[in-house]
Structure 1
Amino acid sequence: MSRESIKEAAVKLFNRHGYEGTKMVQIAEEAGIRKQSLAYHFSSKKDLLKELYREIVEEEIEFVRGYFGEDKAASWEGHLYGFLVEHKNRFLTSPNVHLMFVLSFTTPVEVHDFVIAEYRRYLTVLKEELTALFTGAKVGTFPPEECMVTFMTMLDGLDVQLVYETRQAYEQTLAIVWKVFLAGIGHSVNGQ
């Protein structure tokens, strides 16, 4: 049994039962191994989550850098709107991404400082990429940093829809806040 298989089993169970609701014996059973074999790879659930969460955050950082680093023919509006759609799709289809965002909202006490520090690494990269996009696009009437903060606040509200509500709630909210976002930064609402 590989460490990757154990981590896949852990993600599945953490998503289903939460971190606190998942026991090491359950992870071992899901992975098809004995608890003693699991202990050979990971001495505790906390160690398992820390390795797993760090890898997931790194994957999402790579996604963000890749997404914003692509030379897309789309306008800056299309690029940002596409990110919001892809962000939703990744949450809904990737168990890893789902776990990352849920844990950022409902952080277990035992790993609170670690999860928050890792999630902030992700947020820092996302903010840098957004600021660069707004700087290059010379958007609206506000400085790029203020446009980035506004976008991040909108994204945070949309994430609440994904974590606590439904895909449909996300899409309905997106339709509203996207128009308000464009108008708010001094851009035509007739774009995407």
Structure 2
Amino acid sequence: MSHPPLRSAAKQRICDAALQHFVTYGYDGASLNQIAEMVGIRKASIYAHFANKDALYLTLLEDAIHAENEFIRSCFEAAHALPGQHYCESLKQHYQEAWHFRFLLRTAYVPPDSLREQITRLYNAHLALCQQQITHALAEYDAGLAKMDYLSEAYLGLVDSLHVELLYAGTARFDVRLQAMWQLFATALQQHLSP
């Protein structure tokens, strides 16, 4: 299990302020001047910690992915009725509470063009972890399910649908989407359980 790097208090304050600022304004609308004002420093002081806006943004992305990987692991470790259910049911509250999750979704689905390749590589690694977790959970639930690769792909499609709902519609209709998508996935699992 990897841990985020240790940082000075000043660098962490910049990261905390920048995270909220990027979530609110996006990459293009974000301003290092405004981030500096939020922290109570001069813009030049940001450059003592980060080479430029891209470096700050990628640092936040790495932090967000680390936090989300840990969240996924914890959700899959929790006992629940069906594999992957706890993660899906936790997303709404997690989105409301976790700035890094909102940042990750916005970054993954609306990446700045200049960083698209790096973001795609990092996000795909994150999705691979999610797929590993569901594949393992399916195998533990029923050995026969582990042989059906399309179930883990279907689960990623379900998760993607929930992420898109949160990003573009917020939490208002999340429960409706979750219920519909989860019913389809649960039905598919039940149909393929070993006799």
Aligned to 1:134: 138
Aligned to 1:172: 176
TM-score by length of 2: 0.86
How far apart are 1:181 and its partner, in Å?
Answer: 1.6
* 2:161 is the counterpart of 1:157: yes
CA contact (8 A) 1:56 1:97 kept: yes
Aligned to 2:116: 112
CA contact (8 A) 2:135 2:146 kept: no
- Tell me the alpha carbon deviations over residues 83-131 of structure 1, each in whole angstroms, 9 at most, x when there is no partner: 1121222122111111001111001112111111111111111100100
Query: What's the RMSD between the two structures over aligned residues?
Result: 2.0
Taking the TM superposition and a 5 Å limit, the aligned residue runs for 1:1-192 are 2-70=10-78, 72=79, 74-75=80-81, 77=82, 80-138=84-142, 143-187=147-191
**Aligned partner letter, 2:37:** E
How far apart are 1:66 and its partner, in Å?
Answer: 2.8
Query: SS at the partner of 2:172?
Result: helix
CA distance in 2, matches of 1:3, 1:160: 31
User: Residues 80 and 37 of structure 1: is their aligned pair in 2 closer, same or farther, counting only changes over 3 Å?
Assistant: same
Query: SS at the partner of 2:51?
Result: coil
> Quick one: percent identity of the two aligned structures?
22
Q: Which runs of at least 4 in structure 1 moved beyond 4 Å after TM superposition?
A: 139-142
CA distance in 2, matches of 1:147, 1:165: 26
How far apart are 1:140 and its partner, in Å?
Answer: 7.5
CA distance in 1, matches of 2:76, 2:14: 32
Aligned to 2:4: none
CA contact (8 A) 1:140 1:185 kept: no
User: Residues 139 and 168 of structure 1: is their aligned pair in 2 closer, same or farther, counting only changes over 3 Å?
Assistant: farther
How far apart are 1:187 and its partner, in Å?
Answer: 4.2
CA distance in 1, matches of 2:26, 2:67: 21
Q: Which residues of structure 1 form unaligned runs of 5+? A: none
TM-score by length of 1: 0.88
Q: Which residues of structure 2 form unaligned runs of 5+? A: 1-8
Query: SS at the partner of 1:167?
Result: coil
Q: How many residues align?
A: 184
How far apart are 1:186 and its partner, in Å?
Answer: 3.6
User: Residues 44 and 141 of structure 1: is their aligned pair in 2 closer, same or farther, counting only changes over 3 Å?
Assistant: closer
